[in-house]
Amino acid sequence: EKGGYDHFMLKEIFEQPSVIKDTYRGRLHANLGLIQMAGVEDNLEKFLNAERIVIVACGTSWHAGLVAEYIIEEFARISVEVEYASEFRYRNPIINKNDVVIAISQSGETADTLAAIKLAKEKGAFVFGVCNVVGSSISRETHAGAYTHAGPEIGVASTKAFTTQITVLAMIALRLAKAKGTLTNSDFHRYLQELELIPDKVAEALGTNDKAKEIATIFKDAPNCLYLGRGYNFPVALEGALKLKEISYIHAEGYPAAEMKHGPIALIDEHMPVVVIAPKQGHYDKVVSNIQEIKSRSGKIIAVVTKGDTQVRELADYVIEIPDTSDALSPLLTTIPLQLLSYHIAVMRGCNVDQPRNLAKSVTVE
């Protein structure tokens, strides 16, 4: 049932090209310039009248929410807040009838997320779910929703759920942008085409598996690791660090790259591996200067770059190349080598990759 892979996690990482396609199939029509999602279409007015969107989730789903914040604000110009469901539910949040709450959950059973939904409903908000498990508690408790079509995710470390969540949320952002006219026609069409190409590019990014394994042999005994990214790839840095922590038990932190000089830079010496997400689009030049700062303090740099990059290659100790895409969709690609890196490090450390200690696949108690 692991389909020839040693672990469910690896199988699920490699399923990403096909499950991303499954997730946009029938919804994304690049040739027609259309996005059709029943849950959004039926409630379009609610989305369009929303003064803001509040996203609630936990763990990796929360990271997908952060990526969505950047995408929805940029494409649809609707203000978005992202909250840990566990914090939201206990802090008497200000929620109005005109707020749209999006709850993201792979399992659809996370206790804190479910409680956050109930609270938002009590306060009169429209609650939209992004779940993977059909018929799950969260999918039943929300007013409407859109499923990710990732298929069963068995590995405790969430991988394909993350990329399919981003796929759904990007489609929502694009649909709203279309309705609001906040993207130019040509940008809108370009994004649809880019999204359609993502599965092939993810497949190409999976070609970094050997490279990730080689880098894993070098850093498998590191006690700490720092992950840095900016913009759309800041949440990917958080997600990369979470993946390393939970399956390899190496302490890791994710940071927005520019925050480094507000504290974490003090940690950097020749023993500190720093994974920097530095695709060509976005804040490339700024990330390059962050890399220079790390290098001058002898940090070991592992950089995720766009194919053909030369500037970062000169500075970094190790580079992992991924295909080019638009900035907003780049998390779907940059996250792939980070999943693989964590996986190989955990395997080399003899960890139980699919069922890491102290963790459950769905956290049904708070």
Binding-site size, ligand M6R (CB under 6 A)? 16
- 86 lies in the binding site for ligand M6R (CB under 6 A): no
Alpha helices in the chain (DSSP H): 8-14, 16-24, 38-41, 44-49, 59-76, 85-88, 111-122, 137-141, 160-180, 185-205, 209-219, 234-248, 284-295, 311-315, 331-348
Return the number of the residue (107 or 209) whose C-beta is nearest ligand M6R: 107
- 281 lies in the binding site for ligand M6R (CB under 6 A): no
Query: Which position among 180, 220, 280, 361 bears the catalytic label?
Result: 361
Tell me which stretch binds ligand M6R (CB under 6 A): 46-54, 59-67, 260-268, 285-293.
59-67
- The number of residues in the chain equals 366
Query: Are residues 236 and 60 in contact, defined by beta-carbon separation less than 8 angstroms?
Result: no
User: What is the distance between the alpha carbons of residues 64 and 305, in angstroms, rounded to a whole number?
Assistant: 21
User: What is the distance between the alpha carbons of residues 330 and 240, in angstroms, rounded to a whole number?
Assistant: 14
Tell me which stretch binds ligand M6R (CB under 6 A): 105-113, 140-148, 249-257, 310-318.
105-113
Q: In the stretch 15-54, what mask flags binding to ligand M6R with x, by CB under 6 A?
A: ----------------------------------------
Amino acid at the residue 312: V
Q: Which of 60, 86, 233, 248 binds ligand M6R (CB under 6 A)?
A: 60
Tell me which stretch binds ligand M6R (CB under 6 A): 37-45, 139-147, 155-163, 214-222.
155-163
Q: Under 8 Å CB-to-CB from 103, ≥6 apart: which residues?
A: 55, 56, 57, 85, 113, 116, 117, 127, 128, 129, 130, 138, 142
User: What is the distance between the alpha carbons of residues 275 and 272, in angstroms, rounded to a whole number?
Assistant: 10
Tell me which stretch binds ligand M6R (CB under 6 A): 151-159, 177-185, 200-208, 302-310.
151-159
* Residue 361 is a catalytic residue: yes
- 157 lies in the binding site for ligand M6R (CB under 6 A): yes
Residues 244-273 that bind ligand M6R (CB under 6 A): 246
Closest CA to 125 of 151, 104, 143, 145: 143
Q: How far is the CB of 321 from ligand M6R (least distance, A)?
A: 25
Q: Which of 16, 23, 86, 113 binds ligand M6R (CB under 6 A)?
A: 113
Q: Which residue shows structure tokens 């940029």?
A: 74
Q: Which of 23, 110, 233, 342 binds ligand M6R (CB under 6 A)?
A: 110
Return the number of the residue (106 or 208) whose C-beta is nearest ligand M6R: 106
User: What is the distance between the alpha carbons of residues 280 and 40, in angstroms, rounded to a whole number?
Assistant: 33
Q: In the stretch 285-324, what mask flags binding to ligand M6R with x, by CB under 6 A?
A: ----------------------------------------
Tell me which stretch binds ligand M6R (CB under 6 A): 7-15, 104-112, 255-263, 276-284.
104-112
Q: Which of 7, 27, 40, 61 binds ligand M6R (CB under 6 A)?
A: 61
Query: How is 228-295 classified by DSSP, letter by letter?
Result: EE-GGGHHHHHHHHHHHHHHH--EEEEEEGGGGGGTGGGG-STT-EEEEEE-SSSSHHHHHHHHHHHH
Return the number of the residue (157 or 312) whose C-beta is nearest ligand M6R: 157
Query: How is 295-329 classified by DSSP, letter by letter?
Result: HTTTPEEEEEEETT--HHHHH-SEEEEE----GGG
Residue nearest to ligand M6R (CB): 59
Strand partners, 34: 29
What the block records as the tokens of 115 is: 């409680």
Instruction: List contacts with ligand M6R (CB under 6 A).
Output: 58-61, 105-107, 110, 113, 156-158, 242, 246, 362-363
Active site (catalytic) residues: 361
